[in-house]
Chain A
């Protein structure tokens, strides 16, 4: 069974631009969560989706948004990029909410 895939793997943007990251969960998994990892803050929870509904959101500004499609694929969007948004963005999927999560390889975003 294929694992969680994330595209793109690497991305360079400039301040003020917006970016969309994509996550394809393991087949059959209905829950997708997004995380941000930076050297300073470590791992932080962004949001979780289940059956196309956002179930919970971490403490991030409204510039960070996401959605989930009927096939469970998910996207997250960051608008008006700031230098501090440079990070590794990780997606994880699970069969249901609050079950063991399987992580994708991440998208490394650099904002210049």
Chain B
């Protein structure tokens, strides 16, 4: 079974700060997802990546397959970035034979 660890569990930042959230997993994966969950429950898929780096606006996600590690960076953080960020990994082989395992999430609070 794949174990997914996120750090930190909680993070408080001042508006404008550069933020990094980390995700480590224990076995090989086919893809890694970063999700954002706002108070009230709504989840937005931010990135899906299997190698390298992706950027969307102020968000950057990187993955190192060899080290089984991914990071989510937020540049110029803003109070509207306050949310829980969840890492999820897909492992297994072949269509219809995979497990999707989630980290416990990182709760980010950005203070004005």
B27 interfacial by beta-carbon distance below 8 Å: no
Tally chain B residues at the interface, Cβ within 8 Å. 24
Partner of A98, one of B35, B90, B104, B105: B90
Residues of B within 8 A of A44 (CB): 102
Nearest A residue (CB) for B47: A100
Distance A77 CA – B85 CA, assembled complex (angstroms): 28
- Taking the closest CB of chain A, its distance from the CB of B101, in whole angstroms, is 8
Size bracket, chain A contacts: 20 to 34
A66 interfacial by beta-carbon distance below 8 Å: no
- Taking the closest CB of chain A, its distance from the CB of B9, in whole angstroms, is 11
- B105 and A42 form a contact (CB under 8 A): yes
Given contact pairs A98-B30, A103-B43, A43 touches B88 in the complex (Cβ within 8 A): yes
- B41 and A88 form a contact (CB under 8 A): yes
Q: Per DSSP, are chain B's interface residues mostly helix, strand or loop, or mixed?
A: strand
B42 interfacial by beta-carbon distance below 8 Å: yes
Residues of B within 8 A of A56 (CB): 96-99
B31 interfacial by beta-carbon distance below 8 Å: yes
A23 interfacial by beta-carbon distance below 8 Å: no
- A102 and B100 form a contact (CB under 8 A): no
- A55 and B95 form a contact (CB under 8 A): yes
5 A–B contacts from the bound complex (CB under 8 Å) = A90-B41, A97-B96, A103-B44, A105-B42, A108-B41
Which B residues contact A (CB, under 8 angstroms)? 30-31, 33, 35, 41-45, 48, 86, 88, 90, 95-105
Which A residues contact B (CB, under 8 angstroms)? 33, 37, 42-45, 55-56, 58, 88, 90, 92, 97-103, 105-106, 108
Nearest 10 interchain pairs by C-beta: A103-B43, A43-B102, A45-B100, A55-B96, A106-B41, A42-B104, A100-B48, A100-B45, A101-B45, A56-B96
